[in-house]
Structure 1
Amino acid sequence: MTNTKNTQQSQDSQDSQEKQNSSKTDDDAPQGAATGRRPRPMEVLREARAQLAELTGLQPESVSSFEQTKDGWSLDVEVLELERVPDTMSLMASYQVELDAEGQLTGYRRVRRYERGRADARGR
């Protein structure tokens, strides 16, 4: 009888722990992915910046372009690549970032480098 009681207590404890674990959300996933809904644009922006920073080691300064595509999202993110004095001579880069519909980064590439203080002659 004691073994049966201990087995039931063990099973109840295990069931309770499984419920707690299933109710936790994955910290690496955007908030929308945890609920099964499409993430909001600001969630996508924050997540894209964080993922790009983690992959490149560079801190994003701004998002200069953002659009929803049929496959997910596409962003152009400006990052500081090389800090110089004066600041207007620092080297900046523009990265094109692609994300899936859930907001997970699927690819990125640097599309240009430029000095912070220079106007873009291409009108871009």
Structure 2
Amino acid sequence: MLSAADAAERAVHHVTGLTGRTAESVIGIERAGQKDEGWRVTVEVVETHRIPDSADILAIYQAEVDGAGELVSYRRLRRYPRGRAGQD
């Protein structure tokens, strides 16, 4: 059985591998389906680096991994300037 920490690590690996971007943090994790079916992980990613860093563009990705840590699905939920996470 995959732990939450291992699922988060695998999800970050998958998202960064597919997007070619740097993960900023894991901002959410929850069970996907029944106990051993996998995890849904929300990852914050730096989409565009800018100078200064406060002008970076971030994005939220949601990845679902199965009980073995393999990617089932992922999608970008939204993009926003750093410091404006609560605003669309």
Q: Which TM-score applies when normalising by structure 1? A: 0.63
Alignment RMSD, CA only? 1.4
Q: d(CA) in 2 for partners of 1:61 and 1:121?
A: 18
Unaligned runs of 5+ in 1: 1-37
Q: Which residue of 2 aligns with 1:54?
A: 17
Alignment of 1:27-106 (within 5 A): 38-70=1-33, 71-106=37-72
Q: Which residue of 2 aligns with 1:115?
A: 81
Q: d(CA) in 2 for partners of 1:80 and 1:59?
A: 6
Paired-residue identity, %: 40
Higher relative contact order (CA 8 A, sep 6+): 2
Flag the structure with higher strand content: 2
**AA partner of residue 44 (structure 2):** E
Summarize deviations over 1:69-103 as a string: whole Å, max 9, x none. 22311011000000111111110000011111222
Structure 1 residue ranges, 4+ long, deviating more than 3 angstroms after superposition: none
How many correspondences in the alignment?
85
Q: Which has the larger radius of gyration?
A: 1
Q: Relative to 1, partners in 2 of residues 1:43 and 1:119: Cα closer, same or farther, differing over 3 Å? A: closer
Unaligned runs of 5+ in 2: none
Flag the structure with higher helix content: 1
How many angstroms does 1:59 deviate by? Answer: 1.4
**AA partner of residue 106 (structure 1):** V
Q: d(CA) in 2 for partners of 1:44 and 1:118?
A: 27
Q: Which TM-score applies when normalising by structure 2? A: 0.87
